Structure 1
Amino acid sequence: MEWDSLQPNFFIIFSPGTLDDYPATFMTSFHLTREEKPFLNELLSAHPTVTLIEVDEIIRQVRNIIDRVTQTVELVLYLVLGAGVLVLIASIGSSRDQRLREHALLRALGGTRPLIQGALVTEFAILGVFAGIVAVIGAEITVFTLNREIFELPTSLHFWLWATGPAIGMAMIATVGYLGTRKLVSSPPATVLREV
């Protein structure tokens, strides 16, 4: 039986009457709409030895599994983006003094607060796009591996991830970066430069 098409994959032909004394198994397939499903109960009651395989139920279970795998991949994407945010927070904390001096120097040389904040947001937005791309690549590799090695399914790129991953990464990291450095930009440059 070829289960992909539910067709027999070989036939053996005997002369009529040769197998009359042997038990027989018959196989067939048919399609029922959702409204006709109650007929199955009547069929099984009238013929208790019939084995029924509901392909739509199997397909539903396979779709459930694929949906769970997709949710897992999305979780991997969000975990990678979350890890990127945590790394960014640690990076901002470790380079706080250096950034403070740089911003004070830029302000002393005539840079305005909006200009410096815009540069910071741009820097963090670019980092966010790259973090999103790395997260999507990780998610795609995970899906490819699961589909190919475990489920033996064909795989394709998830274009919606390529659009949303970098956008979410950019928004998250730009926001966190801006919130983490806005006090640095607001510090009076004279005070900071005196400490240097």
Structure 2
Amino acid sequence: MQPNFFIILSPAALEDLPATYMTSFFLPREEKRFLNRLLSEFPAITVIEIDAIVEQIQSIVDRVTQAVELVLALVVASGCLVLIASIQASRDARMREHALVRTLGGARSLIRGSLAAEFAVLGAFSGLVAVVGAEVTVALLQSQIFELPANAHPWLWLLGPIVGAGLILAVGLAGTRRLVSSPPILVLRGTQ
């Protein structure tokens, strides 16, 4: 700890005034009992344990982090539900398109590949947008709130699109599995 100002006076000017002294020292955890003895011998002193304050702040930061992670998980889950809903909304049109492709000689692997490419590109783009949003938010927090220099996170730029592509690809292919396996004759007749 350091005082934030100094006043220089002659010693005689301060003889009759009360004085306050401030110091800091390191005390290992195993010697914390020394503080009890120190406080009992000198009851007028005030001890501020910085490690206890840091632990309290760390606990608060951990709780906030858990809350943010929960919100992130809910956002990802709602994004997956929106993707499933959009697949269901376009189900009939997709079934007709896939039935026509299969009728004209296209294999299931071609349809599955085109769906995989569509979902992978959509997921990579979603991951890229998420990374841009995260980087801008973190940079603003670092520079404006915490007054720290903003740092880029290059691993995020690689990981975000890959995770986005993988997640949306898995959810999308699971949601369209029935579309690919439907017999084209039933779709074209309108019975399915």
TM-score tier, shorter chain, comes to 0.7 to 0.9
Q: How many angstroms apart in 1 are the aligned matches of 2:147 and 2:33?
A: 33
Measured against aligned partners, the alpha-carbon deviations of 1:63-86 in whole angstroms (never above 9, x if no partner) come to 233333333333343333222212
Q: Tell me which residue corresponds to 2:50.
A: 55
Aligned alpha-carbon RMSD (Å): 2.7
3-state DSSP of counterpart to 2:88: helix
3-state DSSP of counterpart to 1:18: helix
Deviation at 1:108, TM superposition (A): 1.7
Q: Is residue 2:73 matched to residue 1:94?
A: no
The 10-residue stretch of structure 1 (22-31 or 108-117) with the greater mean CA deviation from structure 2: 108-117
Q: Tell me which residue corresponds to 1:32.
A: 27
Identity %: 59
Q: How many angstroms apart in 1 are the aligned matches of 2:140 and 2:71?
A: 14
Q: How many angstroms apart in 1 are the aligned matches of 2:137 and 2:62?
A: 14
What amino acid is aligned across from residue 180 of structure 1 in structure 2?
G
Q: Say which of 14, 19, 37 aligns to 2:14.
A: 19
Q: Say which of 147, 167, 174 aligns to 1:172.
A: 167
Deviation at 1:30, TM superposition (A): 0.9
Deviation at 1:161, TM superposition (A): 4.9
Q: Which runs of 5+ in 2 are unaligned?
A: none
Q: How many angstroms apart in 1 are the aligned matches of 2:9 and 2:108?
A: 92
Deviation at 1:162, TM superposition (A): 4.6
Q: Which runs of 5+ in 1 are unaligned?
A: 1-5
Q: How many angstroms apart in 1 are the aligned matches of 2:68 and 2:181?
A: 40
Q: How many angstroms apart in 2 are the aligned matches of 1:133 and 1:67?
A: 27
Q: How many angstroms apart in 1 are the aligned matches of 2:158 and 2:71?
A: 16
Equivalences for residues 1-196 of structure 1 within 5 A: 6-144=1-139, 152-154=146-148, 156-157=151-152, 161-195=156-190
TM-score normalized by structure 2?
Answer: 0.82
3-state DSSP of counterpart to 1:122: helix
TM-score normalized by structure 1?
Answer: 0.80
What amino acid is aligned across from residue 6 of structure 2 in structure 1?
F
Measured against aligned partners, the alpha-carbon deviations of 1:144-184 in whole angstroms (never above 9, x if no partner) come to 555566x5352544556555544443333222211111111
Deviation at 1:92, TM superposition (A): 0.5
Q: How many angstroms apart in 1 are the aligned matches of 2:105 and 2:35?
A: 82
